[in-house]
Structure 1
Amino acid sequence: MTPPAVAAPEAPTRAAQADELDVDTGTLGGEQKHVWEQVALALFIGIPFLAVLAAVPIAWGGFLGWRDIVIAVVFYTVAGHGISIGFHRLFTHKSFKPNRPMKYALAIAGSLAIEGPVIRWVADHRKHHKFSDRDGDPHSPWKYGNTLGALTKGFLHAHIGWLFDTEQTPQRQYAPDLLKDKDIVKVSRMFPFLVLVSLLLPAVIGGLWSWSIEGALTAFFWGSLVRIALLHHVTWSINSICHTIGDRPFKSRDKSGNVWWLAILSQGESWHNLHHSDPTCARHGVLKGQLDTSARCIWFFEQRGWVSDVRWPVPERLEARRVSAEEQAAEKAAEKAARSRRTKVAA
């Protein structure tokens, strides 16, 4: 008796294959950065930076009004806190649990910073914490060594050079939880649209507010180009500056330090030493006088019932992680001696 024929499995359609690819990566691109991505990255870094260089003469020429300042500050504040509260403290470290509208709001707000889709951003940052200032860290300023020349090269790599690495952090390895979250995958796929919103909405608001083409152009210059460049370099400074210098009152296995003069611009992210000592803590500026606007926003959201299970600092945990005054003095003396040796070698 002839056995019944078994139908061959139907080949997946191109749409199904594309959908499977998107589910695997959660965002645009794969684990290798394409040439077009490198070109786009260079443009999104270079053009806003040129705008910053032109900012002083343009402001001096009278092309900066109070409307431009308001628009730039609002967009900077929304996008910056979207990165700090959303991309970093929520999606990377699970410092609290949001309701669904708040989850969407924070993912969209962070995307407006134009620092990459949320899942790719989280994968990079989780890998950074796994290998912080060691081999495997995507952006450590200590990558090439601790001599003056090596640190200079490493600083540039940590600040901006690492962005052009062709090899991408595997999202399935470092962000599998977000790949299972349909809401976050949806926002991650929306990144190109949100880039356009971030670029064009300030101009639209400026034009309608002033009812003029000039108002749209100046709002685009200050609220889009200058705002994007400033936020980018502040964020990258956490990778470069805060892993090179700064006070270290808490124990950590890396070079993370507190840089007070970046605190306001970074929404509290530059209180970086405690963060690496206790990564899931929702507040980074835990000592007296350490302003952390992101933590204040999280507190406000908690009071409104929009977030829950916030991981606030626990006094006993903080005390256990504190570095004694003697240890801090010894560390500063060792760093001073190391700087002196680097200077002599460079000379």
Structure 2
Amino acid sequence: MDFRIEARSWLESHLAQTPAPDPRAWERDLGRAGWIGIGWPGADGESYGNRRATLTQQVVWAEEYARSGAPARMGHIGENLLAPTLITYGTEEQKQRHLPPVARGETLWCQGYSEPGAGSDLAGVRTVAVPDGAGGYAVTGQKIWTSLALDADWCFVLARTDPGSTRHHGLSFLLVEMDQPGRIEVRPIRQLTGTSEFNEVFLDGARAAEVVGGEGNGWQVAMGLLALERGVSTLAQQIGFARELDQVVAAAVASGAAEDPVIRARLVRQWAELDTMRRHALRTLGSTGDPGAPSVAKLLWGGWHQRLGELAVQVAGEAGAVGPEPWSERRPYELDGAQHLFLFSRADTIYGGSDEIQRNIIAERVLGLPREPR
């Protein structure tokens, strides 16, 4: 209880001082207070600039952060994906070099996995990395759907270091600094929502000085990282989902749509499914031996959130299809919360591993069914 009170009090006081803080400055504020990377295990009990925390305390912090309405994190890729991967597969030198700047909120990371021909099927990666003669690699290829690439200082890149290899063989997990003019170009991708959260990244001989987990072991490292993607953060994500569901319920009551028994039944079903997701997340929290748990979680929330978006515009009625005035050529349309939720959630069953890929993982790795023919 003391930890929850401390977390809630810190968030309330800092958000009251700056209701809409600058995203990078906010990361540094979190870092100075020790709220980044809580619970990272260090060598011999030491930390990398983060505070020590139990698994329960990590959940409490994630929940309080989501409830507070604090800004979306710019540093979550470095904190929740890169850091646990380095702790598991990296050398102590790599941990000492990269984890303290993440814990201080000073260094931002992005993930260089997906490619135009290798999205959910990462084994199709074609980005190549060849020795550069200086102990590192020259990386050439294209990555796509790269979140935060415009702001990131570093990128962890899955690339093919064995030119004769195929599928999941011959891949390596490389660390690439983004500030390499002429060697790295980032192009924002404009989405249905009119925003550009994702980017294309073009690498033309970009230098990668470090490999994590050893050359040729990139597939093992990459799969280990993806398993970490659905951990404590899933519970915080569900707090955000609950807030969105509350808004849809309120809109249904205000518009009178809640009087429709079909709509009312769908609202109840959304609530029941969200409660089920939370129980599943709590049951599998901290489990590293269940290869199906991350895929089940992704299947559950992807479809649920997409259905919520559909319901959000349905309860709005005709107004859900119309943008507010005034219209302008510079910004041909503005979206309200329900419209943004509907359009953005179209991608929920694709990004982070499509539903088809998640079902294959469950079928093959958990149920032991024959592999899908290629």
Common fold: TM-score over 0.5: no
TM-score w.r.t. the length of structure 2 is 0.24
TM-score w.r.t. the length of structure 1 is 0.25
Bigger RCO of structures 1 and 2 (CA < 8 A, at least 6 apart): 1
Write 1 or 2 for the structure with the bigger share of helix.
Answer: 1
